A and B are shown apart, each in its own frame.
Chain A
């Protein structure tokens, strides 16, 4: 089945130690997104890629970076995690078809713990 895969599902890191979260997709979608979701809060869009074009949300901290080396993979790098970065990180994709309604397809998420 075509899907969005996130690895690892659970990640524990230490305060200040860089961490990378991975997302891959078999849907061949143009757009890939990263969201941060803290407990009892709305998923918050961090950034998205339309193909190779990177789009950062204005309020995304500089501590968060992303890479998309090819269509299938997208990475979230947290350069110096703080305790406040502990959250569920969701990856999603959409077709990116112009003028259409872009349904997002979500992965299962990676739960990040910062010690």
Chain B
């Protein structure tokens, strides 16, 4: 069965530290890839997405992600986190592309210490 793996379930960082959250998926065909964020008390919202072209995609609030096809990975990065980045982050895959079948990872809870 297709799956999405997020290896870090809980991450604690100090402000200004760099962030990298891992995401790996199992599907070998063409996929659409997403990172969603859920701030405390709020609903899921899109951070960034990839479907083709430049494998390095930039999203909102200084986040970026790199699609590495050979590694089936779509890791999320931010050079310098802020306290306001405290949230839960979900990686998601639409697989196969265009089917509207989304598979989500289990999420990573990020806590940024001021």
Contact = CB atoms under 8 A, between A and B. Distances in A.
B43 A108 contact: yes
A50 B100 contact: yes
Which of the four size classes fits the interface of chain B?
Answer: 20 to 34
A103 B49 contact: yes
A1 to B, nearest CB: 13
Per DSSP, chain A at the interface is: loop
Given A57-B101, A90-B44, A102 B32 contact: yes
Contacts of B36: 104, 106
A42 B106 contact: yes
Contacts of A50: 100
A102 B105 contact: no
A66 to B, nearest CB: 14
B45 interface: yes
Interface string A19-49: 0000000000001010100001111110010
B100 A42 contact: no
B49 A41 contact: no
Contacts of A96: 100
A96 B6 CA distance: 27
Contacts of A100: 51
Interface in B18-39: 32, 34, 36
B43 A107 contact: yes
Contacts of B32: 101-102
B40 interface: no
Interface in B50-89: 50-51
A94 interface: yes
Centre residue among A40, A101, A108 by max chain B CB count within 10 A? A101
A103 B46 contact: yes
14 contacts: A4-B43, A33-B100, A42-B90, A42-B103, A48-B100, A50-B100, A55-B100, A57-B101, A101-B32, A102-B94, A104-B34, A106-B43, A106-B44, A106-B45
Interface of B: 4, 9, 32, 34, 36, 42-46, 49-51, 90, 94, 98, 100-107
> A-B pairs with the 3 shortest C-beta distances?
A106-B44, A101-B51, A42-B104
